[in-house]
Chains A and B, each alone.
Chain A
């Protein structure tokens, strides 16, 4: 699907009672995704609450990353992709023809598996998104950049070298920079596709701590193949298999007493 240039229809601010979790922010209803003729996601229905961490788990190829990318319409970039069903954020279907994808991606940020900072300075990396959405004033930028870097637990490590290349940072730092870059434009939702899988255990632990901090202000959806990680940081977990949602519930329950045998088998390592 090529990106079409649509007149900007802004999604109204989601009605968020900021304290409540139990308020679904993302409502996925009978979502199916087709790559050409092959059905990669099969009638997924799922409600994700706000300001919590939801984990998508499942064996390789089960569709968890595909579903994640539906939430910010990154699947639009792939040729031959077709969507049925709806994904509502804040009550509005994001696949509606009148929706401005740019605006959507401002509200739904993404962090990728392999950290991908731009080959620019640390400052420029964080400023990129801010500039895209209209912030030009240098003082304002500086303040927002510091805020984002602090929010990503990276400020102290880079405050003296903001204008040096982002590629000079370690893997874990680069990933936190990508997180800073994503939260700079103050999204409501952050999507994370296996954010720590390329990192060493210490860097992983720092990213996980960061996620636990971030969930105070953001709704986070994380795809992970590491069940212990899902058990550590998520509040709710969804288990997928071969494109279907098998089970969804409180993380504690999924990992101590899952309802479905398939979930039990996956979680105890009997397959996948």
Chain B
């Protein structure tokens, strides 16, 4: 009688012996659903494959070292003398300049929204609504905005300020195209940055503050380094989108033909996407031009791909460094 025994009225527990598990019953609807998702995946991959293969097969022939490295003569419909070097340079530089503007502005905005703005305030809600709406604006509208604001307002006023004899800033230029693209891709960077900031547990911020750091120090030393991969994702998304956009640069900086490569921010530039449009619509002989067209498309795809790969590689390095040590 040394232990307290359980009262007798507790029911006997069922024994586990004698029960075995049946093989899983075949569920028709689960099967159908799995089948459908599989089909959907195949469909998407299929379309992608069709597009890529089509371009690859048709453009491969036109691709050559000469093609990539030559500045074409005014008549770029000539298969023998044409080249896409200025377009490659133009596309790359405008994306690059865009990144320089969009990342700081986007990141700082996201930091404000996540870390500083009181959640319930009207101002915060207005800013968020503005960011969301910005994301929905059609690209051509951005192009017109760039023309009206950057070129005709900012540019013209700069010219007046610097007492420029002719239009230096007040005309289509690399800088304005890049800025227009920056405005367009701002929501992407802001959202990506916000998500990565929110993913950082508040405990880390608390720990930093409890040690006597200011909010700014906490953000710079603890939060941002952690959020870096996420921010870079935003950058990658922005780059991917901007590389292929034509409408925003139509009025703000792209040129039909330039004999030399762009060297100043005020220069105009040629662009791969725009070139594809021109080749498709302005060609005197479409059959002759087709190989050039496909080759240009292929170059654009490869360039976008390459830009992405570089950015992803850098992000992977950052992630690895974060994971390994401080």
Q: A128-B221, A132-B213, A132-B217 are in contact. Are A112 and B325 (CB under 8 A)?
A: no
Residue pairs across A and B with Cβ atoms less than 8 A apart, 18 shown, are A74-B206, A74-B209, A79-B118, A79-B119, A79-B120, A102-B213, A105-B212, A117-B207, A120-B326, A121-B326, A123-B326, A125-B326, A132-B211, A132-B217, A133-B212, A164-B324, A165-B324, A185-B211
Does B322 have its Cβ within 8 Å of any Cβ on chain A?
yes
B residues less than 8 Å from A185 (CB atoms):
211-212
Does A3 have its Cβ within 8 Å of any Cβ on chain B?
yes
Does B204 have its Cβ within 8 Å of any Cβ on chain A?
yes
A residues less than 8 Å from B226 (CB atoms):
119
Interface residues of B in 180-208 (CB under 8 A from A): 201, 203-204, 206-208
Asked whether, in the complex, the Cβ of B326 is within 8 Å of the Cβ of A72, the reply is: no
Name the residue on A nearest B226 (C-beta).
A119
Asked whether, in the complex, the Cβ of A103 is within 8 Å of the Cβ of B211, the reply is: no
Asked whether, in the complex, the Cβ of B211 is within 8 Å of the Cβ of A105, the reply is: yes
Asked whether, in the complex, the Cβ of A128 is within 8 Å of the Cβ of B208, the reply is: yes
Question: Which of these, B207, B208, B210, B326, contacts A124 with CB under 8 Å?
Answer: B326
For chain B, which range describes its interface: under 10, 10 to 19, 20 to 34, or 35 or more residues?
A: 20 to 34
How many Cβ-Cβ contacts under 8 Å join chain A to chain B? Answer: 78
Q: A112-B206, A112-B207 are in contact. Are A132 and B212 (CB under 8 A)?
A: yes
Q: A116-B203, A118-B222 are in contact. Are A109 and B211 (CB under 8 A)?
A: yes
Interface residues of A in 116-160 (CB under 8 A from B): 116-121, 123-125, 128-129, 132-133
Does B13 have its Cβ within 8 Å of any Cβ on chain A?
no
Interface residues of B in 302-326 (CB under 8 A from A): 322-326
Whole-angstrom distance between the Cβ of B162 and the nearest chain A Cβ: 38
A residues less than 8 Å from B66 (CB atoms):
none
Whole-angstrom distance between the Cβ of B11 and the nearest chain A Cβ: 28
Q: What would 11 more interface pairs be, CB under 8 Å, given A114-B203, A119-B204, A129-B212?
A: A102-B213, A105-B212, A106-B212, A112-B203, A124-B325, A128-B211, A165-B326, A166-B326, A181-B207, A182-B211, A185-B211
Name the residue on B nearest A113 (C-beta).
B203
Name the residue on B nearest A167 (C-beta).
B323
Does B215 have its Cβ within 8 Å of any Cβ on chain A?
yes
Q: A121-B326, A132-B217, A165-B326 are in contact. Are A102 and B212 (CB under 8 A)?
A: yes
